[in-house]
Amino acid sequence: MSSTESINLLGLDTAALTELVGKWGGKPFRAKQLQRWIHQRGADSFDDMTDLAREFRQQLTEHCSIHAPAVSIEQRSTDGTRKWLFEVDKSNAVETVFIPEDDRGTLCISSQAGCTVACPFCSTGYQGFNRNLTTAEIIGQLWHAKRVLQADLASARVGDDAQAGPEPARVISNVVMMGMGEPLLNYDQVLGALRLMVDDNAYGLSRRRVTVSTSGVVPMIDRLGRDCPVALAVSLHAPNDALRDRLVPLNRKYPLAELLAACNRYLEFAPRDFITFEYVMLDGVNDSDDHARELIAVAQQVRCKFNLIPFNPFPQSGLKRSPAARIRLFAQRLMDAGLVVTVRKTRGDDIDAACGQLAGDVKDRTRINERNPDRAIIAIKQERG
């Protein structure tokens, strides 16, 4: 970084912010004050930080900034889901989704511009991959969404003091790293964002309410357990190596046996006593009774629960969603074996905000579609024989 380049404080955790403040002769509590202003109050101007000394605010103004990626598009679904398209540079944009529920508000954020894993049922994978997001770009999605939602809630309450409802700081109660990209392939930057999410001077989220979803990067699962254990979801999607090699190509590097062993190691540190296995339901591909029996065998090896996800079609995939009756029967097979099973409700599909639909806008460095444009169709033909 050049001597004249502004330091974006949005991406600095407590240790980095304390070190920066210390260089100017400031004490560690100043870093905590800064964090509270930035992440809890959503400040983007140092002039607003009235409990900081004027000289210190002047230093901050000269050398630092607070800025999230710019929003180019915001969409609202008929079911209340909201989606933002963030520009992370001139060539790339990523998507973030807020899903309101009666008992929670979940923000789904992105960690990469595109994705290298290239699962055939995920529209992000069809864009290929350009780059990792920085910690500031990752946490900036949460920072912006929280500011917008707090402002909306405050506006709705004007003139209606008696109206019951959640406090603004509780609008976003859960954060899931399930947006664009594979979080554990951008480990260092994601780790910085996670630490801010659970820091009491930043967002103060419970580790149980922050979830990292991975397709199975085994070494990084182990590191996350040591560095910042949060809830873990694994994109399983197949009960055996042969099928998972096609649906989750990363399985060729880290096959099921290694993945399940890593899940068991993670449980020693995890804030929850189970791993969530995500399983997208693909018609005629992974939804048979035989597949259900194989999944039951998988569940006997790891304390887990299953989240069945109705596939959200997009034109390039060549795949179809399992019929509702088949999903119910599949779920019942698992529950009859004593497993905990949920079926994810499809939200925001009218604005392409549902699971697997996030596409953003990525300048592909991998040229993935040029290398294998028919990979999904090939996978179906192989499975159906």
DSSP-assigned letter for residue 319:
-
Separation of alpha carbons 171 and 174, rounded Å: 9
Cα–Cα dist 332/294, whole Å: 14
Four-CA torsion 294, 295, 299, 301, nearest 10 degrees: 40
355 labelled catalytic: yes
Task: Give Cβ neighbours of residue 291 (< 8 Å, ≥ 6 apart).
Answer: 238, 239, 243, 330
For 14, half-sphere exposure in the C-beta direction (CA atoms, 13 angstrom radius) is 16
CA–CA distance, 232 with 261 (Å, rounded to integer): 14
Query: Could you confirm whether 55 is annotated as catalytic?
Result: no
Return d(Cα 29, Cα 17) in angstroms, integer.
10
Catalytic one among 115, 119, 304, 355?
355
Question: 44, 92, 52: which is closest to 68 by C-alpha?
Answer: 44
Question: Do 105 and 96 touch, CB atoms closer than 8 A?
Answer: no
* Nearest of 75, 78, 80 to residue 102 by alpha carbon: 80
Q: Give the residue among 111, 365, 368, 133 at the shortest CA–CA distance from 249.
A: 368
CA torsion 99→100→103→107, rounded to 10°?
40
Choose, from 95, 137, 182, 278, the residue flagged as catalytic. 95
Report d(CA 77, CA 351) in Å as an integer.
6
**Sign of the C-alpha dihedral computed for residues 44, 49, 52 and 58 taken in this order:** positive
- Residues tagged active-site: 95, 355
